[in-house]
Amino acid sequence: MAFDRYMAICHPLHYVTIMTKRDCITLVACIGALGTMNSLVHTLLMLHLDFCGPHLIQHIFCEISPLLALSCSSAYLNEVMAFIANIFLAMGNFLLVIVSYGFIIRSILKIQGSEGKSRAFSTCSSHFVVVALYYSIITYTRPPSGYSLDKEKMVSVLYTLVTPALNPLIYSLRNKEVKVTFRKILAFCKRD
């Protein structure tokens, strides 16, 4: 989405020629292949661990850290690979989003009229809100030191349920009819 917004704002006249259906499919396929490869590496590394004791995962769903907590053998390699994956995938993604939004903001500030700037910011605002919400949940709700299973559960619920549930609302706020309805609801709530 950040690349799409970058193309729409920074290269609007070339958008249709650059963002072809084939290129979009290639981007999605690359992202899917990267995610599959990451999951495969973690799954294959899990196969080498010994699990003893309770086989009950105290978590919302099966993630790497709760599984590693159940292992009675050394999970050092798994932890290192999880750390490396977080650095390259999460930080790489974050940096790409930040760089693309840097270019977008620079392009928007070069626009002459206030209406053009407003439309350009409107194009990016929905995606930016979703990205900011996601990264703020991940960054600020993690325990500052050590591993806390309860906080890990809360973070998992927030980033798997709350952010996707808010996506339709955030993206639909650009629709004038939704804005009018939303204002009516707020006015109704203020009267009570």
Domain extents in the chain: 2-191
Tokens matching residue 98: 């930040």
Q: DSSP for 86-132?
A: IIIIIIHHHHHHHHHHHHHHHHHHH--SHHHHHHHHHHHHHHHHHHH
7-22 pLDDT per residue, tens: 888 888 888 888 888 9
Q: DSSP for 137-185?
A: HHHHSS-SSS--HHHHHHHHHIIIIIHHHHHHHHHHTTSHHHHHHHHHH
Report if pTM > 0.75: no
What is the per-residue pLDDT for 174?
66
84-129 pLDDT per residue, tens: 988 888 888 888 888 888 888 888 888 888 887 887 777 777 777 7
